Structure 1
Amino acid sequence: MNRLAPTRDAAPRPSGWLTGLALAAASATLLLGLHGGALAAKAPPGVFPPAPVAAAPAVPLQFDIVGFIQEASLDTASTICNASHPLLRGGLLKVNGREIVVPCNTILQMPATSLTWAELFDPSLVDASGGTSGTPVTRLALADAITAPVTGSAYPYNGVLPSYEVRVQGNVVKGRYIAGLIFISQQSLNAGFGVINCIDYANGELHVGGAAGVCASSDTRVRINDPVGRFGQSHGKPGSTADLKEAGYDRRLTADTDNPTIKAETGYPMCLPRKNPFGKVADDPVHNGFDPLCPQGNRPRAPYCTSLGDPFPNFAQPATGQYCHTWTMDPPDCATCTTDPTQQAPFVIGDPIDYAGTLKVDATGPYLSAHTITAHLGIYTTPGTRPSYVALEETLQGTGSLPIANLPQESTSRVKIEGMVSDPSMMVDLYAVDVDPVTGTTSERLLGTANPSGPPVVGRFRFKPNAGAYLPATRELRAVSRSMCGDNAIVCAMPGTSQPFWSNVAQPLAFANGLIAGQYRAPDFDFIFAEPTVVGDPMVPANFQDLPFLYCGSGPLGTMTVNGTGPVVGQLDPAPWDTPMIDPVFRSTLCPTARSVGSLPPPPRRQLFDTVTIVTANYDNKALKGKLSVVATDSLPSNTNGLQLYIQVSGLAFDPNTGLGTVVSLSSVPQPMSLVRNVAGSPAVCPSASPCWVYDATGVINNPADPGFFAAPISITVTSNMGARATIDSTRITVR
């Protein structure tokens, strides 16, 4: 409807109104006549033309890639970033054909433990020798060439196994894919189910899916990857002090020995007895007998499957003499009781279990090195008593990204936490674990409280609020049963400076062979980043800068290779964020010295047309001097800004006492080569008039088993900081 036309409901107009309207129409007609209709396209009176829409700004694009690890390299030459410590170095990762920059200070998540990118390359954690080229390898990538172990089994146990899976979330910054979060496993959905048909106590194995009472090689064999012996015998590589030694052992994929990842559904910790409780000690005193840390008395049989009591429903009893499927442990310190809640409960034949882990192979065949086992059992603890046990099953955190102009986006700060507890009578308090980026001191921020009493499942707690203030998102979350404080009416907080003034403070006590009962602290595997609200709109970046542990850092490193206090983990560099993204609100208080968004230098661009050629390699061991001379060239001009070549050499050193050979390297860090030019009147060094790169040194590869003697090189690798690499073996090395 024309806004100038009177309507039936319009108020009476003064007489001059129509006259003014007529004059306006006459004026418009006159103007149209004078200008040839030029004003015909103008908007009618009272309608304003829309303002021009500004173009969406150029922002980093988020990516989420899952696939096999094709290649993985460690930035030992500091071409990607300058790490403050070798354990905090970055590197490069290739997955699904895409090369991704791994920043310095990256801490990645394995299934049940955390490591830095550099720790993936630590040979002490794995029973396997290094790469054939002498360069550091993860032993997880398709491109990693692994030499057969010198000792142990002769079969290539890594060669027959698949590559490992990685999930990388990051942003494309100035053309480079830069990782923000990395999760690694052999296969994230690699899990199995079955009924325990046999237990090999001597070898620490659960057999699943076979004939009852018979341990056969055709069964699914499940071992617990437990380096400290928390849930049974300790496992380790050959030559270690572990109870059970496994060829191909990989400590990086261990179970969580600080929380019960080997458990019943209710979170009660389970174990595999270190001795056969049903064997005759006289027949085998080493492997038969009683294990006080895994007592058989903690597996009651019907009719002694006791219930929780009011107001909870009674548990069903199986046939008399059969193991209980659901029961309540006796109170602690009960002299006449048969079950002991301060110790773990053993697996027995007939238990249905879910298991997840890493596929391995030994002389018998394939087996699962498990980091997680859940028995389908309901083991509860006496209501209102200590200890009780908690397990987290699912966690999720929103990151609450702030909008970017002209890029409509959907973001959330919501949180979701689910788990189980063995004492359903006590409330469960849920916390975000904040970390001081300098000292590493943790403080816990209360998110909310959940009720595990059911229904429908007694012992399950769910925290899934529709809205609330839960930012910033943290790397780890914690669930605390109020049984730790002995008061169900008041919030129970772990010791620290963050607990509410009106809360009770827990008194952490170790039960079940060293576990802190009543709480469960675990990393979050799922963060929600922003998405565009209009399909087809430009993608919005993932706001990694809003995660304090990425933007500020997370304090001193405390991973498995660190003895004592490790180096301080700082801000990701290069950063997976850039303008027009903005600094987080916590920067001024939590890490005011952190480099702001956009101030970090852009990530290095890898030269795709760079080629390295090893021209000559001569080794002279006269008088045991071990003199090595290597000449190499690069396809780029020698004056290319920043061009540098590095050399890494490996050799085979023999132990004079055992006669065994071991692959040793020149050093853990590739050595720089020197740029030289042929000098008139002197013998030519370079193959042409152009400069070349030379490494010339004496006493190159020291034999650690026989100091003073040097190992002849078996491979030489030359790399450039532009990305090229060349490797030669002993057939191209001249030895005198």
Structure 2
Amino acid sequence: MRVQIAIGLLGFFVSNAASQATALLPFSIIGGLDAVTLTDCTGANNLANCGGTISVNGYTITIPKNTLVAFPAAFVPFKQLVAKFNTAGSGYAGLEVAIDGNVKNSVHIAGLFSISQFSLEINMGKIESLATNGAIKILNGPTIRINDPNAVYSAGYTLDPFFTADDENPSIIAFSGASMCVPRSATDAKCPQSNRPTGNDFFIPDVTKLVPFRIGDHLTFSGRKVGTEVICFEIVVENVQVRTRGTQSSFIRVEDAIIGVFTGDANAEMADTRFIGYFSDAAATASIFALDVDPCTGRETERLVGNAGVRNGDIRNKWLWRADATTANQYTREYIIKSNGGQTQMTGNSIVVGQYVQPVTEWIMPEANVPGLELPSYPFEKFDHLVKGAGPFVAAEPDTIFGPLDPFPGATQPVATVCSVGNTDNLGEPVAAISPADQTLIAGSLVTLSGSNTNAALPNGNLVFTWTLVTGTLVAGVLKDATTPRASFIAPQVATAYTFSLNICVTGSATRCNTKTTTITVQTKASNAAVTDVVKVESFTWVSSQSGTISVSFCLQTINTDFVDVYEAY
């Protein structure tokens, strides 16, 4: 245990007590993105899950490692956002970002991070003309296109995939949630005219096919302005009602997914949770599940949280599920709404009729309900996708496992799950590394041996770590955690040198191994009169009311206090 020394007007004292819990202060910031940087993202650490900082409204905000940035219809690793921001002509400087986080040790640390051109941007207009290349001319308005990198809804658009439309959980839809499309030709089999009967209120002939737009359709659309065009990630055809019969799977539209976050703070007010949407079948019902993600495999498990049906007498087939934030809950990044009438796979794309995977559209954090008190911190420890991680993120290179946010915007840093893979035959050999390479410390210090495997393809869960004392003598049991990446011991009161080897092997193999050595030099005052301890100031407090007090907390590198001179202060 480190020795902490508190300095006050009444004198000095030595204490082994744990330091006080770090106070967390909440923050929410919306503004233009001014700058981005990556932190510790070179060499072996140059992975897809790197963190860094952003500058917004004069604030520098730490973006933790493993952060996924929420675009309107996609989640993107922060590292990829940085690369796009720094690409000439990207236009990402000045985009609107929304950050929720906590201030911890005077550092703003992000928990939730979303980005858009304008979060409340909305447009409306009727279709004047359609082109087979995907262009949609709005009457007395702009030309728009669907941001459609996989060409599901149109001829395709690939220039800005981060602002994509969602082509698995459709964001290009009729009022009821049926997927719409721009025909690529008069005989487009993926967007057949036969699936658009006469009129604007009809039963769909084939739920496995998309429904084509037509001139006169009245659109509500959102997107990003690029040149003279608006590249859309969301379109709703407000005046087209596509219905399904009881023998068909029901389309599901989700309008809002709002979660009021619970806290146990008695001085906080909490909002309720509301999921709102529409069905294409007036008799449809649905179940709502949280999607819990395995942090190692990415496998999703459905956890039932509620049920929904059409509200009595609502001719729009509107459904609503509401829950009060009265009990502790674990939140997830995405929820799935599944029709109880079954699901149907569409032809030629990844859309499944009868279900909809929906990220949370708005998190409502706890608010203080007693004026004059400190605001309650944001309880990110209740967000499973931040505490455990998103797992192997397919959009990252090369399938990096995204673990807990690090640093975490809460009081305690979560411990990452140690993952393993089923077959390591083609993943190469472990590569041992020790940081720092060698150390010179004073007697009584806590010596930490920090090793790692720099072959990112081999997870620690498939490896065996062994620290061995090669030269020098230690009493049995002094070396702690010798079979983990981080071993430690307290340096004895003698000037000497130790050599340790770190051996890393693939589990079950005696040949797929790699070894690295390190030298630890221990000095004493007798062996080196100039040797000094390292003093680190950990906190400073000043409270003044006329006479006032001042206190400083700092720690020493040494565990043994033979070298600590303690004086009384007057």
TM over 0.5: yes
Q: CA deviation at 1:221?
A: 0.7
Matched, 1:221 2:143: yes
CA distance in 2 between counterparts of 1:255 and 1:274 reads: 18
Q: CA contact under 8 A between 2:25 and 2:104: conserved in structure 1?
A: yes
Task: Classify the secondary structure of the residue corresponding to 2:394.
Answer: coil
Q: Does 1:358 align with 2:358?
A: no
Conserved in 2, the CA contact under 8 Å of 1:433 and 1:478?
Answer: yes
Contact 1:85 1:567 in 2 (8 A): no
What SS does the aligned partner of 1:88 have? coil
For 2:348 and 2:319, how far apart are their aligned partners in 1? 22
| 1:135-157 per-position Cα deviation (integer Å, ceiling 9, x unaligned) | xx433xxxx5x54xxxxxxxxx6
Q: CA deviation at 1:426?
A: 1.8
Say if 1:220 and 1:367 are closer, same or farther in 2 by CA, change over 3 A: same
Q: Given that residues 426 and 451 in structure 1 are in contact (C-alpha distance below 8 angstroms), is that contact kept between their aligned partners in structure 2?
A: yes
Q: Distance in 2 between matches of 1:178 and 1:93?
A: 10
1:226, distance to aligned residue in structure 2 (A): 0.5
Letter of the structure 2 residue corresponding to residue 429 of structure 1: S
Q: Where does residue 327 of structure 1 map in the other structure?
A: 202
Larger RCO, structures 1/2 (Cα 8 Å, 6+ apart)? 2
Pick the aligned partner of 1:385 from 237, 242, 247.
247
CA distance in 2, matches of 1:269, 1:109: 23
Partner of 1:265: 175
Give distance in 1, aligned partners of 2:310 and 2:269.
32
Residues 198, 251 of structure 1: CA spacing in aligned structure 2 closer, same or farther, 3 A cutoff? same
CA contact (8 A) 1:83 1:104 kept: no
Letter in 2 for 1:291: D
Q: Which residue of 1 aligns with 2:60?
A: 99
Aligned to 1:207: 137
Match of residue 402, structure 2, among 554, 569, 577: 569
Instruction: Tell me what 1:399 maps to.
Output: 261
1:381–1:387 Cα contact (<8 Å) kept? no
Shift of 1:439: 2.2
After TM superposition, give the deviation of residue 468 of structure 1 in Å: 6.5
In the TM superposition, what is the alpha-carbon distance from 1:87 to its structure 2 partner? 0.3
Which string of whole-angstrom CA distances, capped at 9 and with x for unpartnered residues, describes residues 269-294 of structure 1? 0000011x2xxxxxxxxxxxx00111
Aligned twin of 1:372:
234
> Tell me, what secondary structure is at the counterpart of 1:483?
coil
**Alpha-carbon distance in 2 for matches of 1:592, 1:532:** 38
**1:558 maps to what in 2?**
394
Contact 2:41 2:50 in 1 (8 A): no
Give, in whole Å, the separation in 2 of the partners of 1:527 and 1:384: 35
Distance 1:525 1:382 in 2: 27
SS at match of 2:115: strand
* CA deviation after TM superposition for structure 1 residue 483, in Å: 1.7
Structure 2 length-normalised TM? 0.66
CA distance in structure 1 between the partners assigned to 2:226 and 2:243 by the alignment: 36
**2: distance between equivalents of 1:346 and 1:199?**
10
Contact 1:398 1:473 in 2 (8 A): no
Give the match for residue 195 of structure 1: 126
**Deviation of 1:577 (Å):** 1.2
- 2:289 counterpart (409, 426, 431): 431
Q: In the TM superposition, what is the alpha-carbon distance from 1:512 to its structure 2 partner? A: 6.9
Q: What residue ranges of structure 2 are gaps of 5+ in the alignment? A: 1-19, 420-570
Structure 1 294/342 Cα, relative in aligned 2: closer, same or farther at 3 Å? same
Specify which of 500, 520, 524 is matched with residue 360 of structure 2: 524
Matched, 1:297 2:194: yes
Greater fraction strand: 2
Kindly tell me: are residues 578 and 458 of structure 1, through their superposed partners in 2, closer, same or farther at Cα, counting changes over 3 Å? same
**Is the alpha carbon distance of 1:557 and 1:66 closer, same or farther for their aligned partners in structure 2, counting shifts above 3 Å?**
same
| Alpha-carbon distance in structure 2 between the residues aligned to 1:511 and 1:449 | 28
Which residue of structure 2 aligns with residue 723 of structure 1? Answer: none
The amino acid that maps onto 2:142 is T
- Taking the aligned partners of 1:300 and 1:368, their CA distance within structure 2 comes to 29
Change (3 A) 1:531 1:468: closer
- SS in structure 1 at match of 2:162: helix
DSSP 3-state at the match of 2:229: strand
1:138 corresponds to: 84
Matched, 1:59 2:59: no
Cα distance, 1:381 vs. partner? 3.5
Q: Using the alignment, how far apart are the partners of 1:274 and 1:513 within structure 2?
A: 16
Structure 1 residues 383 and 340: alpha-carbon distance in aligned structure 2, compared to 1, 3 A threshold: closer
Q: Which shows bigger deviation, 256-265 or 372-381? A: 372-381
| RMSD after superposition | 2.7
Per the TM alignment, residue 471 of structure 1 is displaced from its structure 2 partner at its CA by: 1.6
Query: How far apart in 2 are the matches of 1:73 and 1:185?
Result: 19
Query: 1:185 aligned to 2:116?
Result: yes
- Alignment CA distance shift 1:467-1:172 (3 Å): closer
Q: Structure 2 matches for 1:290-689, cutoff 5 A?
A: 290-301=187-198, 324-329=199-204, 339-361=205-227, 366-403=228-265, 408-411=267-270, 414-452=272-310, 454-466=312-324, 471-484=329-342, 509-511=345-347, 513-559=349-395, 561-562=396-397, 566-578=399-411
Answer whether contact 1:437 1:569 (CA < 8 A) is retained. Answer: yes
Cα gap change, 1:224/1:577 in structure 2, threshold over 3 Å: closer, same or farther?
same
Equivalent residue letter for 1:482: N
2:128–2:139 contact (8 Å) kept in structure 1: yes
Give the Cα separation in 2 of the matches to 1:184 and 1:341: 33
**Shift in CA distance, 84/437, structure 1 to aligned 2, threshold 3 Å:** farther
| Structure 2 counterpart SS, 1:86 | coil
Q: CA–CA distance in 2 between the matches of 1:69 and 1:119?
A: 15
